[in-house]
Amino acid sequence: MISNNKPFVIGVAGGSGSGKTFFLKCFFSHFTEEEVSLVSQDDYYIPVAHNMTPEENKLYNFDLPATIDRNAFTADMESLIAGKSIIKAEYTFNNPNAVPKMLEIKPAPIVIIEGLFIMHFREIAEQLDMKIFIDTDEDIALQRRLKRDLQERGYSHDDVMYKWLNHVVPAYKEFLLPYKDECDKVITNNTHVAEDIIHITEEISRELREKVLR
């Protein structure tokens, strides 16, 4: 296993509802905790919920690069690549009643950087040895978003649709889609069949074991 060299850094990007979370879950199943670590853009949102009314929360656009603490995100990524552990508070999706966990992310031979803006933040994109784009038809992504936000986050149907049309889709088209062609792997995830994604992650894990972990 490579230990003294720069880790192999993989960027995983996809729009809301693309299935990034399930892809990563399948990906991590092929490795031990010591072999791979993850830095998620979601943990770098600038907290705003405690200052907002429900109506302000509905109108606030979380799908803009300015909502991310870009400097902290980049600095933590660079620390991890340099072989240093990072400790940070978990993001609680602007729920003021949630108590965030403290996360310790340890360096590993494979580092995953995940999020909507990782290609748009060029200082991050330039560090990526492999870029993976999770591609999903818009109607399928919307159904996944509705299921998640209605069931898990307590949003109303109208609120979800407002954010989808005014925030989510425009941000995807402006800050992620233009970088699709520069990605090394474009994975279409329109299926609800887990075996399809499991098979793809198996192929990538074999490739990485030959490149990085041999």
1 domain residue, yes or no: no
Selection from 185, 106, 116 nearest residue 145 by Cα:
116
Contact 19, 144 (CB under 8 A): yes
Average pLDDT, the chain: 90
Phi, psi of 52, rounded to the nearest 5 degrees: -115, 145
Which token pair is 115?
């999020």
Is residue 2 a part of any domain in this protein? no
pLDDT band at 56 (very low <50, low <70, confident <90, very high): confident
Residue 52 domain-assigned?
yes
**Nearest CA-CA partner of 76 in 112, 100, 48, 116:** 112
**How much is the pLDDT for 98?**
74
Residue 99 lies in a domain: yes
The residue among 33, 37, 45, 168 whose CA lies nearest residue 100 is 45
pLDDT for 3 beyond 80 = no
pLDDT digits (tens, 9 = 90+) for 180-196: 999 999 999 997 777 88
Q: Examine the pLDDT at 1 and tell me if it is beyond 50.
A: no
Residue 131: inside a domain: yes
Which pLDDT score, from 0 to 100, does residue 95 have?
65
Domain count, the chain: 1
The CATH code of the domain that includes 114 is 3.40.50.300
Instruction: Give the residue numbers spanning the domain of 69.
Output: 8-211
Whole-number percent of the chain with pLDDT over 70: 94
Which pLDDT belongs to residue 2?
42
Share of the chain above pLDDT 90, in %: 68
Give residue-wise pLDDT tens across range 78-137. Answer: 999 999 999 988 877 656 677 878 889 999 999 999 999 999 999 999 999 999 999 999
Please, are residues 150 and 98 in contact by the beta-carbon 8 Å criterion?
no
Residue 154 pLDDT = 74
Evaluate whether residue 150 is within a structural domain.
yes
CA distance 48 to 38: 24
